[in-house]
């Protein structure tokens, strides 16, 4: 029971890594409070998390909605011990596509803005909302989802890479700013994980991912959830400002 009675907020908790993390935290005694925009899936997910678990319909890009969520949790429980910034989206496209010297396609500005709004500003919104609570209680753990793409880049993912690299930068800043208040801030950089996000990829692409991974398999959501659990627990009490790769050893190629 490494998280016994800890109040843990998990964004994007309806499916995939977020759901697995909420379940793992609940198994270790945490009060798991998830938010997501997929209400139907989230209400099903929360049924597995114990009687104290709850779901909020929150878009992390909506600053007012995030603040209302955190305020309500604090009103009910009096504290926030753990924040997992997991919510994220993809809108992949080449920066530019040229044929016979002519521009035929490019990444849409709306797709760039949307990915940054959820994956980067969403992390900012949630962290800024919980930080004063954690400062007052002189304790807390903030964990955020980066990606190997934020470290290595990846073909067709300008917006996603920018958002996930930004998460790494913010993690380092916040570790320095919040450490004096006994708040630890770390990030996880998953490799390719078998979630709904990659379920629609062609089989040959998935096979190529496995081939480039030294462990010769894709990651499971529980692989990431276990890493979050370690970093959230007191076993990681002297770890802050770190981005932990959980990727089977992959280096994303060109």
Q: What backbone torsions phi and psi does residue 248 show, to the nearest 5 degrees?
A: 70, 10
The two most distant CA atoms of the chain are separated, in Å, by: 62
- Note if 160 is an active site residue: yes
From CA 251, how far away is CA 254, in angstroms rounded? 10
| Helix 16-27 vs helix 221-232: crossing angle, to nearest 10 | 50
Q: Which of 56, 160, 181, 228 is catalytic?
A: 160
Check: CB of residue 160 under 8 Å from CB of residue 147: yes
CA nearest neighbour of 45 among 196, 200, 215, 207: 196
Contact at 8 Å (CB) between 174 and 127?
yes
Q: What are phi and psi of 128, to 5 degrees?
A: -65, -30
In the block, tokens 């913010």 appear at 170
Cite the active site residues: 160
């Amino acid at each position: 029971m490494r998280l016994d009675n800890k109040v843990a907020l998990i964004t994007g908790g309806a499916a995939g890594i977020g759901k697995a993390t909420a379940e793992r935290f609940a198994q270790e005694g945490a009060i798991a409070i998830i938010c997501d925009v997929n209400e139907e899936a989230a209400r099903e997910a929360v049924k597995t998390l114990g009687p104290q678990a709850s779901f909020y319909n929150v878009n992390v890009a909506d600053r007012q909605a995030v603040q209302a969520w955190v305020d309500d949790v604090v009103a009910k429980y009096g504290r926030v011990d753990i924040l997992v910034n997991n919510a994220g989206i993809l809108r992949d496209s080449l920066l530019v596509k040229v044929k016979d010297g002519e521009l035929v396609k490019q990444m849409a500005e709306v797709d760039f803005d949307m990915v940054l709004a959820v994956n980067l500003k969403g992390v900012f919104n949630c962290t800024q909302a919980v930080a004063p609570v954690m400062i007052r209680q002189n304790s807390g753990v903030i964990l955020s989802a980066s990606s190997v793409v934020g470290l290595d880049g990846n073909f067709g993912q300008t917006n996603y890479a920018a958002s996930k690299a930004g998460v790494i930068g913010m993690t380092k800043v916040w570790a320095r700013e919040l450490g004096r208040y006994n708040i630890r801030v770390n990030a996880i950089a998953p490799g390719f994980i078998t979630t709904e996000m990659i379920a629609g990829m062609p089989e040959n692409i998935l096979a190529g991912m496995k081939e480039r991974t030294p462990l010769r398999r894709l990651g499971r959501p529980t692989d990431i959830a276990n890493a979050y659990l370690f970093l959230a627990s007191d076993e990681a009490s002297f770890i802050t400002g770190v981005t932990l790769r959980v990727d089977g050893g992959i280096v994303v190629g060109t």
